[in-house]
Amino acid sequence: MPELPEVENVRRSLKRIVPAGARSRRLTLHRPDLRFPFPLGLSEKLVGERLLDIHRRAKYLIFETDRFWLLSHLGMTGSWRELSTPALHDHLEWEFENGPTLVFNDPRRFGFVSLHDKSRKLDAFEALGPEPLEEDFDAEYLLRISRGKLQPLKSFLLDQKNVAGLGNIYVCEALFLSGLSPFKKARQLKLENCRKIVKSVRKILLSAIDAGGSTIRDYKNAEGKSGAFQNGFRVYGRDGEACRKCRGPIRIRRQAGRSTFWCATCQK
C-alpha cells in the first residue's frame, strides 16, 4: 500500500508530466465507481479548467484547478501514469490540451477520487494530524498528545489523527531507528523519546522519498519508475534475518491486524 514517500513521488512525477497551467480537455470514466462512486458531473466540471498545481496531504494527492480540488487516494493498488498504451483496469482518463493524457489505473479499486469546490472549506482533512515533515510535528507536540494514551507506540503513530501519512512500513523502520519498542505504551514516552521519534520519522521519510519510495509488489511513480528504498529496510519484511546493528534475529508479530517487525535487543 503506497505511503507518504510513494505518494510524494507520484506527485513529483505527475508535475513533470503535466505542465503547470495545462488546460483540461476531456475526462473519461470507464466505470461508475472505484471504492466510492465517481463524483456527479466530474467530467463536465473539469472541462476547460487549468491544472494549477498538484499538492499532497498525508496519502492524498490534490489536483488544484481554477475552481476545484480533485482529491485522489491510491488505496492499495491505484496508480497514475501518462497514457501511452491502454491497459486493463484503466478507470479514468484525463486529457489535457496540447498535452498528455493521465490515466488512473486500479485493479483492486480501493482508491478513489473526490471533487471539492475551492470556495468552500475542505473538510476532508479536518481529522488528520500534522504532516510529519512539517514544523508542527515536534517532540513537544508528540509528548502532549501521548499523555494518558494506552495504545502501543506503533498503533499510536499509525493513527492518522496523531500524525498524517505514516503506514506500517515507515513506522516499523522509524521505530527501529529510534531504538524504541513498538509495544511500549504511548503514555510512557518521555520528551527525549519523542525527540528521537520525530528525528527518526523525518530521516526515514526523507531517505525514502529520495530513493523514489519502496516497491514491495507493484508500486511505480507516474513515470513508471519503481522505488528502491526496500533495499535498505532494516526491519520491515526481514523476520528471521540478522539485525543490521546487533546481528540478533529480526522478529515478527501480529499487532492490531498488521505485521510488526522489530529487534528485541535494539528496541526497548
Q: How far is the CB of 186 from Zn ion (least distance, A)?
A: 22
Task: Name which of 163 and 177 has its Cβ closer to Zn ion.
Answer: 177
**Which residue out of 3, 6, 8, 49 is catalytically annotated?**
3
Told to judge if 3 belongs to the known catalytic residues of this protein, a careful annotator would answer yes
Does residue 7 interact with Zn ion by CB under 5 A? no
Task: Name which of 210 and 241 has its Cβ closer to Zn ion.
Answer: 241
Give the three cell numbers for residue 218: 507493484
Q: How far is the CB of 92 from Zn ion (least distance, A)?
A: 45
In whole angstroms, how far apart are CA 213 and each of 60, 110, 132, 210, 225? Answer: 15, 20, 16, 7, 10
Query: Residues 103, 243, 255, 261: which binds Zn ion (CB under 5 A)?
Result: 243
Told to judge if 26 belongs to the known catalytic residues of this protein, a careful annotator would answer no
Does residue 266 interact with Zn ion by CB under 5 A? yes
Told to judge if 59 belongs to the known catalytic residues of this protein, a careful annotator would answer yes
**Which residue out of 45, 57, 59, 154 is catalytically annotated?**
59
Task: Name which of 177 and 263 has its Cβ closer to Zn ion.
Answer: 263
Does residue 242 interact with Zn ion by CB under 5 A? no
Burial class (CB in 10 A: 0-12, 13-18, 19+), 82: middle
- Which residue stretch of 29-37, 78-86, 107-115, 242-250 sits at the interface with Zn ion (rule: CB under 5 A)? 242-250
Length of the chain: 268
Q: Which residue is nearest to Zn ion (CB)?
A: 243
Q: How far is the CB of 181 from Zn ion (least distance, A)?
A: 12
Is 115:45 a contact under the CB 8 Å cutoff? yes
Q: CA 25 to CA 144: how far, in whole Å?
A: 49
CA dihedral 151, 157, 161, 166 (to 10 degrees): -150
Q: CA 192 to CA 197: how far, in whole Å?
A: 9
Burial class (CB in 10 A: 0-12, 13-18, 19+), 84: exposed
Told to judge if 2 belongs to the known catalytic residues of this protein, a careful annotator would answer yes
Residues labelled as active-site residues: 2-3, 59, 258
For Zn ion, the binding residues (CB under 5 A) are 243, 245-246, 263, 265-266
